[in-house]
């Protein structure tokens, strides 16, 4: 430490260093704000896409061929009108079972999106998956053991897709078994 009073150049150097440090802090804060804004916009974009994907999946499970197939399989299973060997006796019923299994298998990519979807969508989706698997399980319970073989590969693919979804939707994976595996 000097016993002499600070020189004008020393004070200016000190102020210059402080100004540069302040500028660096403000530049970092501005950069951080931009990064957070970009991350926020990316998150919102991913969330909007997830909501759209979940809505499309719900629509797929509740309308068109999937809804018709669920109605057909559920009606046959509750009336006990399942033929002994599905395939040779009732091609239409066999086709409807495959429509349902394929609908379940198509849900597999949705597992990545469901965490960002709306909670109501997750509940509705879980309910409809449960209705489909319950119909398939009841149907499978009416079939003789050997008659399930034509469905095994498709049922296994659906089971894999549902395992991923059950983790996201907090559902016991066993409750979504189709009985056709």
Strand segments, DSSP code E, in 83-180 are none
Instruction: List, for residues 86-123, the tens digit of each pLDDT value.
Output: 554 578 888 999 999 999 999 988 888 888 888 888 88
Whole-number Å distance between alpha carbons of 75 and 81: 8
For residue 77, name the pLDDT band (cuts at 50, 70, 90). confident
Instruction: List, for residues 6-58, the tens digit of each pLDDT value.
Output: 565 677 787 888 888 888 888 888 888 887 877 778 888 888 998 999 999 99
DSSP state of 89: S
User: Is residue 171 classed as helix, strand or coil in its secondary structure?
Assistant: coil
DSSP state of 108: G
Strand segments, DSSP code E, in 13-154 are none
């Amino acid at each position: 430490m000097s016993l002499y009073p600070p020189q004008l150049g020393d004070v200016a150097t000190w102020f210059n260093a402080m100004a540069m440090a302040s500028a660096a802090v403000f530049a970092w804060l501005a950069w951080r704000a931009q990064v957070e804004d970009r991350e926020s916009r990316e998150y919102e974009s991913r969330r909007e896409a997830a909501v759209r994907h979940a809505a499309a999946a719900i629509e797929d499970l509740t309308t068109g061929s999937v809804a018709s197939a669920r109605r057909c399989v559920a009606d046959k299973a509750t009336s006990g009108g399942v033929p002994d060997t599905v395939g040779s006796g009732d091609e239409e019923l066999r086709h409807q079972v495959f429509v349902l299994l394929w609908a379940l298998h198509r849900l597999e990519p949705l597992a990545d999106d469901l965490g960002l979807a709306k909670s109501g969508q997750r509940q509705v989706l879980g309910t409809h998956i449960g209705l489909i698997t319950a119909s398939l399980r009841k149907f499978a319970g009416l079939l003789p053991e050997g008659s399930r073989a034509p469905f095994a590969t498709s049922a296994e693919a659906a089971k894999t897709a549902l395992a991923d979804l059950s983790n996201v939707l907090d559902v016991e994976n066993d409750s979504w078994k189709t009985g056709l595996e």
